[in-house]
Chains A and B, each alone.
Chain A
């Protein structure tokens, strides 16, 4: 026990010493809370450091958990920038009053549909809702033109999706905004009658489609490219739905500057970099997962239909967040979640 006490004291001192560094050094690094995966964005962030000489400290985590963290930290958040997967997480931090207003010169780099109308956050890359399908079981011309048609009993037992995933829920919110609650409920109930398979993650849905466990999956477009990294011969392809179909929602990952940061200039520089030609070209030249660049004039990776051809429902992405509570209740009432 005596040894334990000595050891414990030594450890406490060591821990205190570890805790002491980091702050107060000259040229404080810029702190980024990133809900975007390290594997995907690290090369991009390294490039920012090289180009600007500004050092970054990046906390990686789940977008929604990081949003909750910023809310709990309140005015004492160490974060200078929030780089998130989805408009929902950004909207939540904005609603809690923790995002600063961005200058027009930054937000105007992207089309109005990809940013917050109040300029608290701006989209930095695009992701499109698609129907991923098993190419052994189905050919493209067997697929319906609207996600609504998957409610047809012919699709019984063939559909998979992740009901708890933020992107899926954003799609349902879009459907409510487009078609109203009654038609959305009706669609969800008929989908439910088709006995879909439910998964936790988009990547699991893709694997299930690849394995033939289901024939189609409702996911974001880029999971296909991640799957192909792991299983190059997987029999899966994406079907992009035409027109303003709710199943063709185009959403974004984006960024905002934390209100009250003492490094507002550097933080803005960071967001500016994400929207610079170099920052946008990253999604074409380097990224594993083929998201869409949002700045006009930069074409996406080969094999992706150009963004201008994709419409999706015409709505403000910022309106999806407030809709979410209703969406969750609906998913709950229909029996997809508890």
Chain B
């Protein structure tokens, strides 16, 4: 199908949005070029290749872990007669709201040496040491906790809306249940799994909290160390560009995975598969996953909060920072969804090689750690836009830049699932483009808009590095409250704001978890 060229009124805002998202990249290039030949030396260091390999290994393992946890959970909750499936459907994605630095601290509190678990096991079983959690394993565990909800949410949304007739036909042709899953269901899930894996991989690439607390040397940790110890911004910029290169490799890989896949939404829900004798093993799997990734961190946080009581400083909840967090995150979510719309329309309604790359470019900064994005905006705003520097507007802008793909992915996917013929028919009946958007496309893609807004909101709620440097002075969020106390090792005072963050964010995850989703969610 040939499509008309994209109108300028659409392309201009799309290009402008992507250009703004690429500001951190421009900053990195300025710093790298400014560093001259020093920049090349960083690449030649033997440690750099090792860092890339270690980072790649972690990212691959986290993607595998997130799929191994998220996909079975999604299938069990949406397509089987699992007991308590509604409850699991709500609980399973909740770890999404736990910031990874909190997740890492809580996992250390539980499974670290002399942590809660070991102390519980010590008396009855004489357990003196648990397996080592520091290093690769701990970083993998904490990041899997933070990311499997992406796989769960996208896979569950697809499974809910999948046309059941194909699977029924395959059953009718004599295939067993496993064969149907492998040969019919899984291929239709491929686009959403690829999209979820991309978001998971970018999250794992950019995360600093988990890898630093678990003492695993990854690229982000190295970038932070360069900033923290050497005050030389060139090596950090070069390493950050290496992250960007890895991101581009991932984008190409993801586009290949998706090629040729198409998914059709069903008109009626699929029948639930009876689990039979697998009922209890399946239930045990769900309990174990939700227990490990949700209950354990919550128990640790409650335990830390309670530790404050005998110390006499009580448990106080920071309601004002909570309100600030919600406010600024909600604004960022709304702005992000508006900003991704022209990009999504350009790429999905006027498909060509360059529009596909426009959409992909919007993802390239997503693997950058928060400190890089923060310092790049410090540089541009302080020197070229002083009137916005350290205002709420800049903080919102930083969130939009940092979490642009989180909004773009679901909105793009939602657009993909709406047949353009519907829009063409409405145009043919004499409606203008904006009227079509408001009355036809808008309502149809509203689940995608909602999902994008919710993802940006949740990520903005837990964002720390950019918040610290760019917020207006005195503007406290829940994330800065948590930081304020964890920096001192005062977990009894860091835990209540962390619990509050989870509590306030949870309803938004509920919105995400219950949507009947669109299918493919990815660039290209």
Contacts and interface: CB of A to CB of B under 8 A. Distances in A.
Interface of A: 1-2, 4-5, 7-8, 11-12, 14-16, 18-19, 22, 31, 37-40, 57-62, 64-69, 71-74, 76-78, 88-89, 92, 95-96, 164, 166, 169, 197-204, 206-208, 211-213, 223, 226-227, 229-230, 232, 324-325, 328, 332, 337-338
Contacts of A88: 229, 231
Given A169-B229, A198-B215, A72 B114 contact: no
Contacts of B50: 338
Contacts of B326: none
Contact of A15 (B134, B371, B392): B392
Interface stretch (B173-181, B189-197, B330-338, B501-509): B330-338
B430 interface: no
B511 to A, nearest CB: 16
A80 B173 CA distance: 77
A37 to B, nearest CB: 6
B2 interface: no
B349 interface: no
A58 B471 CA distance: 12
Contacts of A232: 311
A280 B379 CA distance: 36
Contacts of B43: none
B503 to A, nearest CB: 23
B51 interface: yes
Given A19-B391, A78-B389, A72 B375 contact: yes
Contacts of A226: 488-490
B408 to A, nearest CB: 15
Interface in B119-160: 134
A58 B47 contact: no
5 contacts: A2-B442, A11-B334, A12-B335, A213-B114, A328-B230
Q: Which 8 A-B pairs have the closest CB atoms?
A: A203-B489, A19-B391, A1-B442, A92-B231, A211-B114, A338-B217, A64-B228, A15-B393
Given A1-B442, A40-B488, A57 B473 contact: yes
A79 B54 CA distance: 39
B437 A200 contact: no
Contacts of A1: 341, 437-438, 441-442, 449
A227 B331 CA distance: 39
A150 to B, nearest CB: 20
Interface in B352-406: 371, 375, 378-379, 382-383, 386-394, 396
B433 to A, nearest CB: 12
Contact of A65 (B212, B217, B379, B469): B469
Contact of B334 (A4, A65, A72, A169): A4
B466 to A, nearest CB: 11
B344 to A, nearest CB: 12
A11 B178 CA distance: 50
Contacts of A200: 212-213, 215
A109 to B, nearest CB: 27
A337 B233 contact: no
B457 interface: no
Given A2-B438, A64-B228, A230 B47 contact: no
A16 B393 contact: yes
A72 B233 CA distance: 10
Given A22-B472, A338-B50, 20 more contacts: A4-B334, A4-B337, A8-B338, A31-B473, A39-B485, A39-B488, A61-B469, A64-B227, A64-B228, A67-B231, A68-B233, A89-B231, A164-B228, A198-B215, A206-B489, A207-B489, A212-B114, A229-B311, A332-B47, A338-B222
A224 B10 CA distance: 60
Interface centre among A1, A38, A200 (most CB of B within 10 A): A1
A5 B13 CA distance: 14
Contact of A77 (B47, B221, B382, B394): B382
A227 B489 contact: yes
Interface in B230-266: 230-233
Contacts of A12: 335, 393
Given A15-B393, A62-B228, A67-B231, A72 B489 contact: no
A18 B484 contact: no
Contacts of B217: 337-338
A73 B382 contact: yes
A204 B215 CA distance: 12
Contacts of B230: 324-325, 328
Contacts of B474: 57-58
B307 interface: yes
B468 interface: yes
Contact of B468 (A15, A65, A207): A65
Interface string B455-471: 00000000001001100
A187 B358 CA distance: 53
Nearest to A7: B334
B51 A338 contact: yes
A201 B75 CA distance: 41
A277 B228 CA distance: 32
A77 B386 CA distance: 10
A58 B480 CA distance: 14
A37 B486 CA distance: 11
Interface string B203-230: 0000000001101010001100101111
Nearest to A5: B338
B393 A18 contact: yes
B113 A19 contact: no
B369 to A, nearest CB: 12
A96 B232 CA distance: 10
Contacts of B383: 73-74, 76
Nearest to B51: A338
A88 B229 CA distance: 8
Nearest to A66: B469
Nearest to B384: A76
Nearest to A16: B393
B225 to A, nearest CB: 6
A166 B222 CA distance: 14
Contacts of A5: 338
Contact of A72 (B335, B378, B472, B490): B378
B346 interface: no
B267 interface: no
A76 B26 CA distance: 20
A166 B229 contact: yes
B353 to A, nearest CB: 28
Given A15-B392, A68-B375, A71-B231, A203 B488 contact: yes
B113 A64 contact: no
Contacts of B225: 164, 328, 337
Contacts of B488: 37, 39-40, 203, 226
B293 interface: no
A60 B389 contact: no
Contacts of A57: 473-474
A80 to B, nearest CB: 12
B487 interface: yes
A68 B227 contact: yes
A280 B286 CA distance: 57
B111 interface: no
Contacts of B382: 72-74, 76-78
B164 to A, nearest CB: 31
Interface string B313-348: 000000000000000000100110110010000000
B311 A61 contact: no
A315 B221 CA distance: 31
B88 interface: no
A39 B331 contact: no
A136 B451 CA distance: 54
A169 B228 CA distance: 11
